[in-house]
Amino acid sequence: MRPSRRDELVRKAFHVFYRHGFHATGMDTLVRETGISKTTMYNYFSTKDELILAVLRLRDEEFRNRFTRRMQQLANTPAGQMLALFDVLDEWFHEEGFCGCLFIKAGAEFQDHSDPIHVQAAEHKRVLQEQFTAMAREAGARDPRDLASKLMVLKEGAIVLAVLGNKDEAIRNAKGAAQLLIETATGQQVEAA
């Protein structure tokens, strides 16, 4: 099925915002880089913020689905899947065009906690942490929420360091720390891929 014009606009806008940021990307840049006219954009979105929210919703769904599916492909157990998260991050870090996390960018550019864009970015991170908490619970962690919080800190820190140019060191250190945390929290050995 061919994507709708609106879906095409959101996907193209994602790539522009991802490369340049939100505030640095004006409507003229969006028109130039997406090939979609201002009139068409405003037919679907009355403001740039509405377009940003649509981009964040799309990215959230695609990112979580992709990461979950890949973690399940790499490991058969919840504990193994939590560790596999760092292998999936490593794959992402080495993709052509890697520019970090769109949600970290959104939170940094829209710092007012009541701004809908900030709220959407924070919600993405909250949902991921809940997913990790459920996995930690399934893995038998003594304190699933605590383990999930610590894994989130490692994940987010690795992303920031990868953007700053330390991809291999960031993922190696984050994965090593995650393995120790998972093994301590669950009382089971976890094999690194």
pLDDT in tens, 46-96: 999 999 999 999 999 999 999 999 999 999 999 999 999 999 999 999 999
Q: Which domains does the chain have, with CATH numbers?
A: 53-186 (1.10.357.10)
Closest C-alpha to 134, from 151, 111, 121? 151
Q: What is the pLDDT of residue 1?
A: 54
Q: What is the mean pLDDT of residues 8-27?
A: 95
pTM value is 0.92
CA atoms of 151 and 145, how far apart (whole Å): 10
- Write out the two tokens for 114: 């009541």
What pLDDT, on the 0 to 100 scale, is given for residue 69? 97
Q: Look at the alpha carbons of 127, 131, 136, 142 in this order and tell me if their dihedral is positive or negative.
A: positive
What is the arithmetic mean of pLDDT over 2-24?
Answer: 91
The residue with greater pLDDT, 6 or 133, is: 133
Task: Using CB atoms within 10 Å of the CB of residue 86, give its burial: 0 to 12 exposed, 13 to 18 middle, 19+ buried.
Answer: buried
CA distance 49 to 45: 8
Average pLDDT across the chain, whole number: 95
CA distance 49 to 29: 15
What radius of gyration, in Å, describes the C-alpha atoms of the chain?
A: 18
CB 56 within 8 A of CB 13: no
Percent of the chain with pLDDT over 70: 97
Mean pLDDT of 120-126: 98
How far, in Å, CA of 51 to CA of 121, rounded? 14
Give pLDDT tens digits for 147-157.
Answer: 999 999 999 99
Q: What pLDDT sits at residue 19?
A: 94
Quick one: average pLDDT of 16-35?
93
User: Phi and psi for 13 in degrees, rounded to 5?
Assistant: -65, -35
Residue 3's pLDDT is: 66
Task: Tell me the three state secondary structure of residue 23.
Answer: coil
Q: How confident is the model at residue 5 (pLDDT cuts 50, 70, 90)?
A: confident
Question: CA 130, 132, 138: angle at the middle one, nearest 5?
Answer: 105
- For the cut 60, the answer to whether the pLDDT of residue 22 exceeds it is yes
